[in-house]
Amino acid sequence: MSSSSYIVRLSDSATDSDLTETIKQFESKGGKVSQQYSLFRGFAGSLPEEHVSALEAMPHVSAVEKDQKVSIN
């Protein structure tokens, strides 16, 4: 089971309890949260790749992006 790191963003209308429930579901699928964000409602963490589509289908999730390094040249 291969895991990758993802950034998960919730919708603007998501509440704190929606975030808590999304994190619970993320962790129940083998995910490990590494960071919660304050600029937007969301978090980063690793998740087995076969569970990404289930995460994307969750009601308050607006985006799931693979975490990657970004550089400015």
pLDDT in tens, 18-71: 999 999 999 999 999 999 999 999 999 999 999 999 999 999 999 999 988 878
Domains and their CATH numbers in the chain: 3-66 (3.30.70.80)
pLDDT at 1: 62
Q: What are 24's two structure tokens?
A: 């619970």
Residue recorded with tokens 């975030």? 19
pTM beyond 0.85: yes
User: What distance in Å separates the CA atoms of residue 56 and residue 50, rounded to the nearest whole number?
Assistant: 12
CB 11 within 8 A of CB 47: no
Alpha helices in 1-73 (DSSP H): 16-28, 52-56
Amino acid at 5: S
| pLDDT given at position 13 | 95
